[in-house]
Amino acid sequence: MLKYVLVKRIPQIILVMFLALTLSFYLVRAIPGDPIEVMLGESPATPEMREHLRKVLGLDRPIHEQYLIYIQRLLSGDWGKSIFMGIPVRELIFSRFINTLLLATCSMILSIMIGIPLGVIAALKRESIIDHIIRGVTLFGYSIPVFWWGLILIYVFSVNLKLLPSIGFGTPQHLILPSITVATLVSASIARITRISMLEVLNQDYVIAGKAKGLSQYILLRDYILRNAIIPVVTIVGLNFGTLLTGSVVTETIFAYPGIGKLMVDAMYMRDYPIVTSGIFFLALMFSLVNLLVDILYTYLDPRVKLERSISV
């Protein structure tokens, strides 16, 4: 399997990264408007001044030349400098990414704590009223528009009850509302996959055999059912975590949370090219690596799965 990862997956990730980087470089620069316009706006700057700024930022060169310079620097570890903040992009991205990682981890812990028990209970009580209620709640969870849900939580808990801070960052309390907002969606998808996976395992012969041989409900659940049913859940948790790492743009915007999603959106408004291009590169890399890890973990947890096969179909 190691050979498969080294020979097939890693080169593929490098190719995808290169294409994503190139595409984002050209797409972002094709957006109408440039940083000079944003910076100077309607100010009475002379054309000479504009030209000068362009030269300083290296925007006067042909775009393909800019691209080559950018790639060269990126390979040597220089991700460029933010046009507006003057800070090296790598530092900026890393410091914001830590915040996103924090939010993603909190949301994921919360989602697992809610989602897995709900899924297990629904499956054990299948077709009962409890099952129907849990499935209804699950559908609610992933139909909710996050921007609406986030605002409602702010209104109820910060404006009305004055229990929690609404926006910003710094104390653990600031993490609660954004985490709940994100976890509502993620726990629903975890609960759903847990339920389906449990039902599949419950129908297996070895579970029926275990029951026939008189094992207690607890042992049966712990050693026979959960152990096998949890495998697809791990995959979904991993994939969701990968998505969360790329920043919940909407949630971060609503709560003015200084994560990587908010950084990217702000940079896009300002046409801060280095942040957007390097940011997309970084996020795409994170996403691909998490996916690779999930695939490897999957074969490790379930030795019946051959990595080569599970991916090619």
The contact pattern for other proteins, residues 22-41, with x = CB under 8 A and - = no contact, is -xx--xx-xxx---------
* Cα–Cα distance, 255 to 170 (Å, whole number): 12
49 counts as binding other proteins under rule CB under 8 A = no
Q: Shortest distance, CB of residue 117 to other proteins, whole angstroms?
A: 20
Task: Tell whether residue 143 is a contact of other proteins (CB under 8 A).
Answer: yes
Least distance in angstroms from the C-beta of 140 to other proteins = 7
Closest separation in Å from C-beta 243 to other proteins = 8
Q: Is 196 in the site for other proteins (CB under 8 A)?
A: yes
Smallest gap from residue 47 Cβ to other proteins (A): 25
- In the list 5, 16, 176, 292, the residue contacting other proteins (rule: CB under 8 A) is 16
Instruction: Say whether residue 199 binds other proteins (CB under 8 A).
Output: yes
Using alpha carbons only, how large is the chain's radius of gyration in Å?
Answer: 24
Q: Which of 35, 165, 232, 247 binds other proteins (CB under 8 A)?
A: 247
7, 14, 19, 87: which one binds other proteins (CB under 8 A): 19
- Residue numbers 150-179 binding other proteins by CB under 8 A: 151-152, 155, 159
Q: Is 283 in the site for other proteins (CB under 8 A)?
A: yes
CB of 181 to other proteins, least distance (A): 13
- Interface residue with other proteins among 60, 61, 72, 148 (CB under 8 A) is 148
- Interface residues toward other proteins, by CB under 8 A: 12, 15-17, 19-20, 23-24, 27-28, 30-32, 126, 132, 136, 139-140, 142-148, 151-152, 155, 159, 196, 199-200, 203, 243, 246-247, 249-250, 253, 261, 264-265, 268, 280, 283-284, 287-288, 313
